[in-house]
Amino acid sequence: MRYIVTGGAGFIGSNLAEHLSRDHEVVIVDDLTSGQRQNIERIMDNSRVTFVEGSVTDLDLLMEIFAGADGIFHQAAIASVPRSVKDPLETNAVNAAGTVNVLWAAKECGVPSVVTASTSAIYGDDPVFPKRETMAPTPLSPYAVSKLAGEYYGKVFADLYGIRTVFLRYFNVFGPRQDPNSEYAAVIPKFITRLLDGKPPIVYGDGEQTRDFIFVADVVQANIRAMESEARGVFNIAGGRRISLNELAASLSEITGVDLRPVYEPPRAGDVRDSLAEISRAEEAFGFSPRYTLEAGLRETVEWFRDGRGGRRR
């Protein structure tokens, strides 16, 4: 098969592209705004892999690249709530308008299937748990709104033009290649790198907020299973259990062997308080089931950062 991976030099996209490259032709599209060349270095000598530096905001480029593709894994996005609060215009241009570009180019080029990264942020702070795909969206940030708009466009394109569209609502993904150095980095790489550098983890809020974490290898499998199935629509992709940030900090302290209590700072605007997914719909539709426990994923991630592959500042 010939697959396109937008955002393929990013955290999730590079893990996905590497797995696909074992058996398929892969075209990686990334403007390197948040993606990094080092994430795909190990697969660039594979004759089945092509890298194109460019953005999903460039429709002409997408039209050129998508010709002859068997499927598109659309991972490109500005995936940060705080950044979206700071710059909603850019977030909309990349996440919402960029997704429309991907869908339109797929339609024009005759690509049958598009599997797109969405987000649990769409659920907002609805107090009902676990989160089910049938729940009404209550987005709290421009990021969440931009991803929800992409889902709506996906449904319309499926209805009007016959493209099979799948939107995977990622909960809290973690694992190797997740950048800890960005101002908007996710909590697990931030916690790990600070502990390994002998610094206490920083928690925004009281630490009792909860997250439903999922290891990146399980997200890769979810994408591939969704592409190879006949599934359509929206699906939660998560571990199916939640843990507080205080519990997470304690667990990482034990795994790293660094005993430092967190430092607490004020909550950030737009952040969701709690998160827990119902994942049975994805299991029924395309056999998704997490293979990694949280502890196993954390240990593998810590080892990756400890080996110096995480770009820790020294």
pLDDT of residue 271: 86
Q: For residues 91 and 209, what is the distance between their CA atoms, to the nearest angstrom?
A: 25
pLDDT of residue 254: 97
Q: Which two tokens stand for residue 306?
A: 């400890």
* Per-residue model confidence as pLDDT tens digits over 163-218: 999 999 999 999 999 999 876 679 999 999 999 999 999 999 999 999 999 999 99
Q: Which two tokens stand for residue 80?
A: 């940060």
Exposure string for 221-242, b = 16+ CB within 10 A, e = fewer: bbbbbbbebebbebbbbbbbeb
Out of 123, 143, 153, 292, the active site residue is 143
Confidence at 313, pLDDT banded by 50, 70, 90: very low
**Residue 310 pLDDT greater than 60, yes or no:** no
Distances (CA, A) of 48 to 71, 111, 228, 314: 15, 19, 19, 36
Mean per-residue pLDDT, 89-113: 98
Distances (CA, A) of 143 to 36, 121, 130: 22, 8, 21
Confidence at 8, pLDDT banded by 50, 70, 90: very high
Averaged pLDDT score across all residues of the chain: 95
**Residue 11 pLDDT greater than 70, yes or no:** yes
pLDDT of residue 269: 85
pTM: 0.94
Exposure string for 117-147, b = 16+ CB within 10 A, e = fewer: bbbbbbbbeeeeebbebeeeeebbbbbbbbb
**Vertex 107 angle, CA 104 and 110, to 5°:** 145
pLDDT of residue 309: 56
Domains and CATH numbers, the chain: 2-174+214-240+277-291 (3.40.50.720)
pLDDT of residue 314: 33
Angle between helices 11-20 and 216-228 (to 10 degrees): 60
* Per-residue model confidence as pLDDT tens digits over 230-257: 999 999 999 999 999 999 999 999 999 9
DSSP bridge pairs for 173: 214
pLDDT of residue 300: 97
Mean per-residue pLDDT, 65-93: 97
* Per-residue model confidence as pLDDT tens digits over 24-62: 999 999 999 999 999 999 999 999 999 999 999 999 999
pLDDT of residue 312: 45
Task: Output DSSP code: residue 267.
Answer: P
Q: For residues 235 and 91, what is the distance between their CA atoms, to the nearest angstrom?
A: 22
143: annotated active-site residue: yes
